[in-house]
Amino acid sequence: MPDTAKCKCEEGAPKWLVTFADLMSLLLTFFVLLLSFSSVQEAKFHELAGSLKGAFGVLESQTVISVNTAPPRPNVTVIQLRQAMVQREVAALKSMADSLGASVEVEANGNQLIVKLRGRMLFPSGSGELNAAATPILQRLATLLATTGGNVQIEGHTDDRPITNGRYPSNWELSAGRALAVLRALQQLGIPPSRMSAVAKGEFHPLVPNDSPANRASNRRVELRVELDDALGAPDFIAALNAANQS
């Protein structure tokens, strides 16, 4: 009886399997790299870099990889220039107000620049319509706001005398109308509306007691509270600005 033919098969895994395994390893390495680069974290990056250095020899042993996570610092010269521009515009605003016989006060408090505009300069008695004479002041104010940047809250204030015309039921509505009138004027002068908001304060936040015509005139005002960034809101700049305004 003839011998059964023996199958001549090579021992071990087929040759194609070696190539396939190499390909899978390379693909796995590629996707691990993609995953690591999608969310760079310094500690994981260094750990991965060390592993790759030993596995592939693609990095020199002296190679140092540094990931800078600190926010960029503003240039000191730029900060000083902005501060000088704000001081110049504040001085120009006050000088213009003095020349027009108007009353404008500017002070800095914390991270806010507060501008107080007296009501007689801006509005006729009992009205929310801006005087034409207020236009130069508002134009200068718009230049100041463009220099400072930051959000602006516009507050309307009145004295405590009840309003008697039919357009405004109370001082709440009158103060709101005046704040909105200033907001609209500044918008037309180029201040983005996204920076501004209007608030009605009525007669409830007087600067002085409402016991004389002069005091009531002081309490009729529009205040602008401008938020300053960290550079402009630095304590030394706030102190220098207040000192200049008091001189």
Domain assignment of residue 4, yes or no = no
**pLDDT tens for the chain, residues 1 to 247:** 455 555 555 555 566 666 767 777 777 777 666 665 555 555 555 565 565 555 555 445 454 545 555 555 555 678 888 888 999 999 999 999 988 888 899 999 888 999 999 878 899 988 999 999 899 999 999 999 999 999 999 999 999 999 988 889 999 999 999 999 999 999 999 999 999 999 999 999 999 999 999 999 999 999 999 999 887 888 888 888 888 777 6
Domain assignment of residue 62, yes or no = no
3 state SS of 217: helix
pTM attached to this predicted model: 0.69
Give ∠ CA 100-139-221 in degrees, rounded to 5.
Answer: 65
**What domain range is 104 assigned to?**
76-246
* The pLDDT value given to residue 29: 74
Contact 197/150 with Cβ under 8 angstroms? no
Residue 108 CA to residue 100 CA, distance in Å, equals: 23
Domain assignment of residue 230, yes or no = yes
Contact 144/247 with Cβ under 8 angstroms? no
Residues near 102 by beta carbon (within 8 Å), at least 6 away in sequence: 117, 118, 121, 134, 137
* The pLDDT value given to residue 59: 46
Is 150 in the same domain as 192? yes
Domain assignment of residue 198, yes or no = yes
Domain assignment of residue 180, yes or no = yes
Is 47 in the same domain as 155? no
Virtual torsion, Cα 202, 146, 187, 139, nearest 10 deg: 80
Is 52 in the same domain as 156? no
* The pLDDT value given to residue 195: 97
Is 29 in the same domain as 149? no
Alpha-helical regions (H) of the chain: 15-38, 42-56, 76-99, 119-122, 135-148, 171-188, 213-219, 235-246
Domain assignment of residue 5, yes or no = no
Instruction: Report the CATH number at residue 186.
Output: 3.30.1330.60
In the 8-state DSSP scheme, what is residue 230? T
What is the total count of domains within the chain? 2
Domain assignment of residue 142, yes or no = yes
Between helix 76-99 and helix 135-148 the angle, nearest 10°, is 170
Q: Which long-range contacts (CB under 8 A, 24 or more apart) does 68-76 make?
A: 69/42, 74/231
